[in-house]
Amino acid sequence: MWKTRNNVSIESWRLGITYFIVIALAIIFVIRLYNLQIVQGAEYEIRADDNRFTNVSVPAPRGVIYDRNGFQLVRNIPAFNIVITPAFLPDSEAEIEAIYQYLSDLTGIPIDQEGEKAARCVPGRGIRQLVDEGSSISPYDEWAVACDVDESVARIVNEIMMDMPGVGIEILPVRDYTTGDLTASFIGYLGPISEFNIDFYESLGFEAGRDKVGYAGIEGIYQDLLAGRNGQKVIEEDVAGQLLREVGTVTQPTPGSNLRLTIDTRLQSAAETALERRMEFINRSAADVRTPVGVVIAMNPQTGEILAMVSLPTYENNRLARFIPELYYRQLEADERGKPLINHAISDRHPPGSTFKLVTAIGALQEGVITPTRTLFDPGKITIENKYFPNDPGKAKDFVCWKRDGHEDVDFIHGIAFSCNVYFYKIGGGFPGEIEEGGLGIDRIGLYAKALGYGNRLGIDLPAESGGLIPTRDWKRRTQGENWSTGDTYNATTGQGYVLATPLQVLTSIATIANGGRVMWPHMVKEVLDGEGNVISSIEPCVLWDITDNIKTPAEDIGANCTSIPESVRPEFLESPDLFVEPWVIQKTQEGMLAVVTEGTAEDYAQLEAISSAGKTGTGEFCDEVARDKGLCEPGNWPTHSWYAAYAPYENPEIAVVAFVYNGGEGAVTAGPIVRQVLEAYFAFKSIDTARQP
């Protein structure tokens, strides 16, 4: 037994237990320290460094975009945000309130306004709520309380920041679309990284919540080139998140490449003006929004370069540059007739009407169904008996020409010039006593249609291109549950019935005829540039195939020489058409198109004064949901879309243009003048450019 200084007795066994516990704890602590510092030391050092050091992404400057003449379509400009670092605010509540009041008076942002937490810079909450959120999450981070303020406001704040601790100015680059809605349909816009794509973009070095990516148009399809690659630096922070220092080597960001487009902004503006005025005239005359949609596309038929692309209605992409306003975006989505977010030039499918007759013309002439000089009689209508009820006139069906009293005797050139329906019915689907064995027939019509660019995506370097529709016998059985009929063929020969095409496909067919048979890859980008304006790479013209070369291109070789085509838009052709068109056939078709302008359906509407041109009018009957709801789908009197496509000069084509006006009526009357004005503008600009050259 042990006694203490105060003669208190302590039993020895109790003292032994105490020593044992102390020694055991010491051993445990030693083992634990050894485990933490020696065995797991490296692992915990890494964890500590992870807490102490942070990898920070350094944003890369996004590439800018020019038109073919060097005019800047897209640039980066500074946007100014007023930010508050909660940890640096004064200790005095009165001083904080004074700062809040001053910023509220200066920017119009309320001091107190409750609201749901949202993405950065989305309006709806007050200054106090934004700062309180930041203080609770990361007090040493800058929290934006007023975004995209005017530069003059930013300068005022910058001058008095010394008297307002915690307040600062954040400068961020944002897109400025200098031509706005004029080019929005193909330029597109940027948006935040969505939850759906966050893993993909973060794997590429992007930072969700800060970086934006292309959502549409050129901004979307050339995202990889324009975005560049973010840099990286490492910073050391304390436990509260306050920056202490930068450590290690900074990986500098790689700026995005710049793009020079094939577009001529002057021609783009002229085309939009011509289309817009024509649509306004139609709607004003009808005292209603009769035509909500219109398209103009201009192309160099020798290269496939798109010189202008107008899609109306459109949208103002500058309103989407800072953030995407929910109200404005919902307004765009709610326009079910106009669908301004859709590029109607490449995504809409419509009956091409008589512009499609050129397919039938080339096929019938090449296959020997008709000769250039042979005439067929057009009485104004022909009647097709029902083969199952040959003796029942009530089962027969009339197919009429647009000229109800007929064109009488018509040859190949004038069949095209006058757009004679009966002539094309006969050569396309046959007629007893004149064109036997079913004429060209739907199978060969489909073959020649695809040869000229219909029925598949052409691979233009823009997203959401549609493939159109060239119907087949099997397609009708599968989708309609019916066999193909002669009437279906008659409708197809004139671009009606089940045939659907995009304006780009109609233009490509015209351009193919204009250049002598080469189906060119349509494209929007001409050159890729570095930051100094030096050419990194040029987008060379590409022949997808030539219908006059009598060589079938294997599927894997189609567009193989087009190494610059982005993978995301490569043409979807499975194989090139297995056919051959004699050059003289194309020449005769060109002569017919010349006659359209000089003496045919476009004579009074589309002739140029000093330059020869060739074209084809089209009036496509339709009955969609809108027309049906308005009671416009009357048998024999359906509403019509207006088409006109032309190229010039006739002898050496430099430009091909198509105009499409939804529910625009007769093609020559509505679309013809639009194309004429675009062609006139093109040659006027060419004269100006030539005069400026030394």
227 contact partners, CB below 8 Å, separation of at least 6? 60, 62, 63, 206, 211, 213, 214, 256
Q: What percent of the chain has pLDDT over 90?
A: 54
Confidence of residue 392 (pLDDT cuts 50, 70, 90): very low
Buried b (16+ CB within 10 A) or exposed e, 544-572: bbbbbeeeebeeeebbeebeebbeebebe
The boundaries of every CATH 3.40.710.10 domain in the chain are: 266-692
Question: What pLDDT shows up at residue 384?
Answer: 84
Taking the mean position of all CA atoms in its chain, how far away is CA 690? 33
Would the pLDDT of 548 be above 80?
yes
Region 337-352: what's the mean pLDDT? 95
Alpha-carbon gap, residue 409 to 389, rounded angstroms = 30
Burial of 206 (0-12, 13-18, 19+ CB in 10 A): buried
For 7, other C-beta atoms within 10 Å of its C-beta total 6
Would the pLDDT of 40 be above 70?
no
- Does an H or E element contain 363, and which? helix 357-366
Alpha-carbon gap, residue 333 to 232, rounded angstroms = 38
Least confident of 245-254, 425-434, 437-446, 465-474: 245-254
Question: What pLDDT shows up at residue 389?
Answer: 47
Cα distances from 231 to residues 50, 242, 250, 254, in angstroms, run 19, 22, 8, 7
Which is more confident, 82 or 310?
Answer: 310
CATH of 56-261, one of 1.10.1060.10, 3.90.1310.10, 4.10.410.60, 3.30.10.20: 3.90.1310.10
Confidence of residue 549 (pLDDT cuts 50, 70, 90): confident
DSSP lists the bridge partners of residue 614 as: 647
Which is more confident, 563 or 111?
Answer: 111
Would the pLDDT of 53 be above 60?
no
Contact 612, 649 (CB under 8 A): yes
Instruction: Look at residues 467, 399, 403 and name the one whose alpha carbon lies nearest to residue 439.
Output: 399
- Read off the tokens for 628: 């049906």
Question: What pLDDT shows up at residue 427?
Answer: 97
DSSP state of 513: H
Which is more confident, 390 or 273?
Answer: 273
Question: What pLDDT shows up at residue 235?
Answer: 57
Contact 571, 559 (CB under 8 A): yes
Q: Is the backbone of residue 495 left (phi > 0), alpha (psi -120 to 50) or beta?
A: left
Taking the mean position of all CA atoms in its chain, how far away is CA 264? 18
The boundaries of every CATH 3.90.1310.10 domain in the chain are: 56-261
Alpha-carbon gap, residue 355 to 358, rounded angstroms = 6
418 contact partners, CB below 8 Å, separation of at least 6? 403, 407, 410, 600, 601
Summarised one tens digit per residue, pLDDT across range 642-655 is 999 999 999 999 99
Summarised one tens digit per residue, pLDDT across range 236-281 is 655 555 555 666 676 788 899 999 999 999 999 999 999 999 999 9
228 contact partners, CB below 8 Å, separation of at least 6? 60, 61, 62, 63, 253, 254, 255, 256, 257
Region 35-64: what's the mean pLDDT? 68
Whole-structure pTM value: 0.88
Q: Which stretches within 576-656 are classed as H helix?
A: 583-598, 625-629
DSSP lists the bridge partners of residue 661 as: 294, 642
What Rg, from alpha-carbon coordinates, does the chain have? 35
- Read off the tokens for 582: 């004699």
Confidence of residue 515 (pLDDT cuts 50, 70, 90): very high
Question: What pLDDT shows up at residue 51?
Answer: 58
- Read off the tokens for 14: 């109790």
Confidence of residue 473 (pLDDT cuts 50, 70, 90): very high
Alpha-carbon gap, residue 100 to 196, rounded angstroms = 37
Summarised one tens digit per residue, pLDDT across range 158-191 is 888 888 898 989 888 899 999 999 999 999 999 9
Question: What pLDDT shows up at residue 248?
Answer: 60
| Mean of per-residue pLDDT scores for the chain | 87
Summarised one tens digit per residue, pLDDT across range 615-641 is 999 999 998 887 888 777 877 788 999
Contact 585, 412 (CB under 8 A): no
Instruction: Look at residues 296, 262, 301 and name the one whose alpha carbon lies nearest to residue 520.
Output: 301
Would the pLDDT of 366 be above 90?
yes
Alpha-carbon gap, residue 661 to 279, rounded angstroms = 8
126 phi, psi to nearest 5 deg = -85, 170
- Measured at the CA of 686, the angle between CA 680 and CA 687, to 5 degrees, comes to 90
CATH of 266-692, one of 3.40.710.10, 3.40.50.10210, 3.30.1280.10, 3.50.50.60: 3.40.710.10
Alpha-carbon gap, residue 323 to 223, rounded angstroms = 18
DSSP string, 408-424: EEE-HHHHHHTT-HHHH
532 contact partners, CB below 8 Å, separation of at least 6? none
Q: What percent of the chain has pLDDT over 70?
A: 87
Alpha-carbon gap, residue 538 to 260, rounded angstroms = 9
Q: Quick one: CA dihedral 667, 673, 678, 684, positive or negative?
A: positive
Long-range CB contacts (< 8 A, 24+ apart) of 14-19?
Answer: none
Cα distances from 261 to residues 23, 72, 278, 529, 657, in angstroms, run 81, 10, 27, 11, 18
Confidence of residue 134 (pLDDT cuts 50, 70, 90): confident
Alpha-carbon gap, residue 66 to 392, rounded angstroms = 66
Least confident of 10-24, 396-410, 660-674: 10-24
Would the pLDDT of 454 be above 90?
yes
Question: What pLDDT shows up at residue 245?
Answer: 60
Confidence of residue 553 (pLDDT cuts 50, 70, 90): low
Alpha-carbon gap, residue 396 to 393, rounded angstroms = 5
For 670, other C-beta atoms within 10 Å of its C-beta total 28
CA atoms within 13 A on the CB side of 343: 25
Region 574-594: what's the mean pLDDT? 88
Question: What pLDDT shows up at residue 34?
Answer: 74
Question: What pLDDT shows up at residue 388?
Answer: 46
Region 92-108: what's the mean pLDDT? 90
Confidence of residue 141 (pLDDT cuts 50, 70, 90): confident
